[in-house]
Amino acid sequence: SYRKGGYHAVRIGDPFSGGRYIAQRKLGWGQFSTVWLAFDTLSSVHTPLSLSLSVSFNLIRDRTTFHIQSIPKFSTNYVALKIQKSAQQFAQAALHEIEFLSAAADGDLQNTKCVVRLIDHFKHAGPNGQHLCMVLEFLGDSLLRLIRYNRYKGLKLDRVREICRCILTGLDYLHRELGMIHSDLKPENILLVSTIDPGKDPVRSGLTPLLEKPEGNANGGGGSSTMNLIEKKLKRRAKRAVAKISERRVSMVGGALGEEASSKSERSLDGIDMRCKVVDFGNACWADKQFAEEIQTRQYRAPEVILKSGYSFSVDMWSFGCTAFELVTGDMLFAPKEGNGYGEDEDHLALMMELLGKMPRKIAIGGARSKDYFDRHGDLKRIRRLKYWPLDRLLVDKYKLPEGEAKEFAEFLSPVLEFAPEKRPTAQQCLEHPWMNVVSTQNDADNVESQVRNLKIKG
């Protein structure tokens, strides 16, 4: 797909947007784009040197105004450059994504709402055509990689809670403040943010010389010739950094999951405060202006989308529920497959009912596609015998969670997986749920349990 209308081929060191961004290393790719780590030469030039020890400033441009945004240093030096394929339909999709990312950035000046930040966007002409490029804040590995890194064994509940808090904060913002539905929430589209202090991190502090005080420039302002000098110097350094930068360093800057670390035990995650952000707004829509009937990635798709009964914000809550389960267990909640005499959709509905009980008849028969899967009693047409295995039992029997933990987590998750979309809690309500606000750690709970046991034995 590196041909006319397709991906833009990038070589390390390639300049973008008049030399502002220098490509460093490929971070990932999607159907429509490749994503590159890039060095932003301008962000450091514009850093007032007197302030560079604590914060730096970065210009966030949208169509009409400039916002000045203070964000921690280092994160300003490196950005993620998403380069869209050039054909008309991909350009259209990029413009769509830019619309939603801009709206999200405009409403979140403090950059605290757990949504990836759009820093800049521009067009880049290459041999395969004009490519729309998005400059995003540089984030770490995805939750999918975190799950893999943990060898699909699931994460500790306290860690899941931290991650869920970020996802819910992001969703609450998108839903309540912006009226936006993400429509493709899944572990792959949630990226980790590093909270390691770069000053204390030897791997990352290798980047500090880039902020060194340039000669003959006392206050960081300086005339244009000084600026040129700084710029040249920065570009030279950026090129040298290319050679030095390693997979490990990149992973440290973003998340914490270098290839090297993945051979080690789960314990290497200890002490890392997990935070994350929602990314990939390529499928987002406004609740009052929807574009597509079929949304969401299969395994995270809500029942009302399969049945074509109309949808709203609560489809994201369904996907959130599927994601939270996957974080706890390492397994996808629903992995439907086509079978003998039935399709993927019907299997999906069967899996849902095996976990959550029979779908209320009114909901089952209420969608435009209902007749394809359900008879008039609300029973599946082709899959007759369902094996009911409720969530709390599944968590105990299959995933070996302690009874108490399983019960509490199931109490949190079950309402999110309500068949009736309007009965699902909002992101805001989830944030207020007791499970999200557990103070005592599992150790304390274990202690309490063993104390109770001891008392019983003594008694």
Site for ligand ADP in 142-161 (CB under 6 A): 142
End-to-end, the C-alpha distance of the chain in Å comes to 73
Residue 258 binds to ligand ADP (criterion: CB under 6 A): no
Residue 27 binds to ligand ADP (criterion: CB under 6 A): yes
Of 132-140, 159-167, 330-338, 348-356, which part binds ligand ADP (CB under 6 A)?
Answer: 132-140
Residue 191 in tokens: 């990226």
**One character per residue 87-116, x = contact with ligand ADP (rule: CB under 6 A):** -----------------------------x
Instruction: Please tell me the total number of residues recorded for the chain in this structure.
Output: 459
Q: Which partner from the list ligand ADP, Mg ion, none does 33 bind, CB cut-off 5 to 8 Å by kind? A: ligand ADP
Residue 74 binds to ligand ADP (criterion: CB under 6 A): no
CB atoms near residue 254 (< 10 Å): 22
Of 147-155, 255-263, 264-272, 273-281, which part binds Mg ion (CB under 5 A)?
Answer: 273-281
Active site residue 184: yes
Lookup result for tokens 């010389």:
209
CA 3 to chain centre: 30
Residue 97 binds to Mg ion (criterion: CB under 5 A): no
Residue 30 binds to ligand ADP (criterion: CB under 6 A): yes
Residues 119, 79: Cα–Cα separation, whole Å: 9
Q: Which partner from the list Mg ion, ligand ADP, none does 31 bind, CB cut-off 5 to 8 Å by kind? A: ligand ADP
Closer to ligand ADP by CB, 201 or 411: give it.
Answer: 201
DSSP string across 135-149: EEE----BHHHHHHH
b/e sequence 175-214, b meaning 16+ C-beta within 10 Å: beebebbbbbbbbbbbbbbbebebeebebbeebeebbeeb
Q: Which partner from the list Mg ion, ligand ADP, none does 32 bind, CB cut-off 5 to 8 Å by kind? A: ligand ADP
Residue 347 binds to ligand ADP (criterion: CB under 6 A): no
Instruction: Pick the binder of ligand ADP from 7, 16, 32, 419 (CB under 6 A).
Output: 32
Residue 28 binds to ligand ADP (criterion: CB under 6 A): yes
- Long-range pairs of 382-385 with CB within 8 A, sequence gap ≥ 24: 382/341, 382/342, 382/346, 383/339, 383/342, 383/346, 383/347, 383/350
Instruction: Report the C-alpha dihedral over residues 113, 272, 60, 58, rounded to 10 degrees.
Output: 140
Catalytically annotated residue among 172, 184, 316, 345: 184
Residues binding ligand ADP: what is the number (CB under 6 A)?
23
Instruction: Give me the helices (H) in 173-289, please.
Output: 202-205, 224-244, 247-254
Question: Catalytic residue positions?
Answer: 184
**Residues lying near ligand ADP in the complex (CB under 6 A):** 27-33, 35, 80, 82, 116, 136-139, 142, 188-189, 191, 254, 279-280, 282
